[in-house]
Amino acid sequence: MKTIFKSILIASLGVSMAQCSDDYLDVSSPANTDDSFVTSTPDETYKTLSWCYGNYRQNVASGGNYNWEDAISDVEYYPENDSPNNVIGKLHPENVAIGGKQTQFNGLFATLARAKRIADILENKPQYISARDAGTTNDWTHLYGEAITMRALCYFQLCLHFGDVPYGIENTVADSYTLSSRYAIYDAILADLDRVQGLMYPIGQGGITAERISRTFACGLAGKIAMHAAGYQTLRTDVTGLYGDISFDKIGQESNKCFYARRSDYLNYIRTAEKFFDLALGAAKGATYLVTVDDRAGINNPYQRSYQYIYDMQTSPESLFEVACIEGQQGELGYSQGRPSDGGGSNAAPCKVFAGVRITPTAYYSLYEDGDKRADANMTVTGADGKGNEAMLSFVAGSRLNGGISTNKWDVNRMNPPFVAKQRQMGMNYQVLRIADVMLLNAEAKAYLGKDGEAKALLDQIRARAFGDNNHSVSATGDALLEAIWHERALELLGEGEARWDMIRSGKFHERTSALKSAMAALKGDLRSKGWHDFGNGRVMPAYIWVKKVQLSNPLTFDAVPGDPARTPGWRGVYDYSTIEAVAGKVQGTNHNLAIQGLYRYIDPTSSEAAALEADGYAKTNWGADLISDKAINDDLFLGGWKNGEAPRYFHPIPYETLNQSKGNVTNGYGLPQE
């Protein structure tokens, strides 16, 4: 059973954290802290630290974040044309509101301030000092490392989403402050993680599960931070001396007072990343492992099995860290990034699922090789109508059943049983970091360092799990191997928001964005002129498909059954909501599944085949035709704000209160608003 993390505010901590939610940069350390109570036992200390987990969950991880609306890449997009939610995702910083991500910004600073204050108290505990000096791990050293790692996670995400930010002034009275270089922040938190990780428990030891920060996660996080520090990113030119004497290798042109580059000494960070990844996959691995066997009767998809643990309210053995949620209280993931549903906000079959992460049609038809078990488990062309039935998605702009092909990783129908009382409270954990991500990042690091054999060994483990055999290993070397790893990351992490960061880090942003725009133009051109587009891999996207409702003994489908139009593609259907008393009366009809014809091939609407299908009860249905209609998702959703050669401007604005309190020392760059 899951550990329940509650937002516990321990008043006797003595820290005036009431200010954290607003003026968090003006938090002062108290003169009198009742340390004898707050840290009297490890359990009492953890109760205090649990406030950090609760605040992070409530104000950073949740709230309809849709990966902070940044999950727009060459394989993902946001489904609403004119929503303010995805202005930065579309790369239009000039149109964003300055307070758009104030909740997350303040939430991160409030969390890291509390974590640091707890760490400061623990640092003086005799039980901690004696264990630290002896180089041994106990509950006190772990708690200290847990707090320091939480602080590092928050600073990393601040840099990731806001760029250069103030650093190191939490729990002080800050009359004025300035920006710190993200590289200085990365160096500081990497040093912190290196210092504490050896004194922490890996997952599975000391009572630590993936719902708490562990040595396993600390090492994985450190490696990921180092990879981002090593990678290409957009940097400011409007703050003199911000990056000191660092030398950069630039791509493209300088514009909007920023440029796209990576450090010339980036390999130093790559070596650091490899060290931490090797620990996360070795000495610090603990109980984590890559799921390679599906233990379910009649199902053979170990990739999807790794996610099913979370549907089943268990921690996944692949997770290095999950933000714990409680069914009926939290659980935005299944709503914001799940498989769509047109249901109502409560007591529906299932409830509304907005589905803010969609899959580009070019990715759906061309990203995966035949036989890759990840394809159907990651992408779906159907959702639910909220009345117990499967329903087609459309390329009409919008949400729920509109908005295009959806990610399929977080499907409320896969819960047992689905939570139907209210939307946004499904209780599924947020998976912050998982082992496959770490393995592929480590493969990337090793490829950069010329260790092609070790890199391919990691890559091949991921591919063997995906295909169920050892016949899909990669033979590439050098730069081609790096390309193969980045491609594999898109396959493995589709819908999780990593593809965008990989595009940026790799220096391939311009190339991949241009390729997407060309591919979408070709697709739409063919749909207009011919009514179909051939992707050259045996798959064709047509303007129309033929669909009818059918009855299956189990309306929730699993692995695809070739030749069965109700079970291909796989991993769709709906849960049998007639078995849930609370919503059984909402279920309509008896034919709950959809049989689909022509999804991957062209059927001429005037042909005898089309006539025969219609005679058999199939209805001609818009598919690609909606992609070119006047109600379609528009091209601006596909990284529309990027102009050839410019640095991608993907940061959110630092909120006005922080700018104002800095007395002019902190400003927003990249064309972002100042007020």
Q: In the chain, what percentage of residues exceed pLDDT 90?
A: 90
Distance in Å from the first CA to the final CA of the chain: 47
**pLDDT digit string, tens, across residues 221-237:** 999 999 999 999 999 99
Residue 474's SS3 state is: coil
Question: At a CB cut-off of 8 Å and minimum separation 6, what does 93 contact?
Answer: 87, 641, 649, 651, 653, 670, 671, 672
Q: Which two tokens stand for residue 624?
A: 């690609």
Give the pLDDT confidence score for residue 64 in this predicted structure. Answer: 63
Question: At a CB cut-off of 8 Å and minimum separation 6, what does 256 contact?
Answer: 646, 647, 649, 670, 671
| Residue 585 burial (CB count, 10 A) | 11
- Radius of gyration over alpha carbons of the chain, in Å? 25
- pTM strictly above 0.85: yes
Tell me which of 1-5, 38-42, 375-379, 619-623 is least confident: 1-5
Helices (H), 57-171: 102-122, 126-134, 139-162
Give the pLDDT confidence score for residue 36 in this predicted structure. Answer: 56
C-alpha dist (Å) from residue 471 to 208, 440, 465, 474, 478? 37, 19, 11, 9, 21
> Mean of the pLDDT values across residues 153-172?
96
The Cα 36–Cα 48 span in angstroms is 13
| Residue 529 burial (CB count, 10 A) | 9
Is the pLDDT assigned to residue 47 strictly greater than 60?
Answer: yes
The Cα 192–Cα 148 span in angstroms is 7
Q: In the chain, what percentage of residues exceed pLDDT 70?
A: 94
Q: Is 583 exposed, middle or buried (0-12, 13-18, 19+ CB in 10 A)?
A: buried
**pLDDT digit string, tens, across residues 307-340:** 999 999 999 999 999 999 999 998 899 999 999 9
Q: Is 489 exposed, middle or buried (0-12, 13-18, 19+ CB in 10 A)?
A: buried
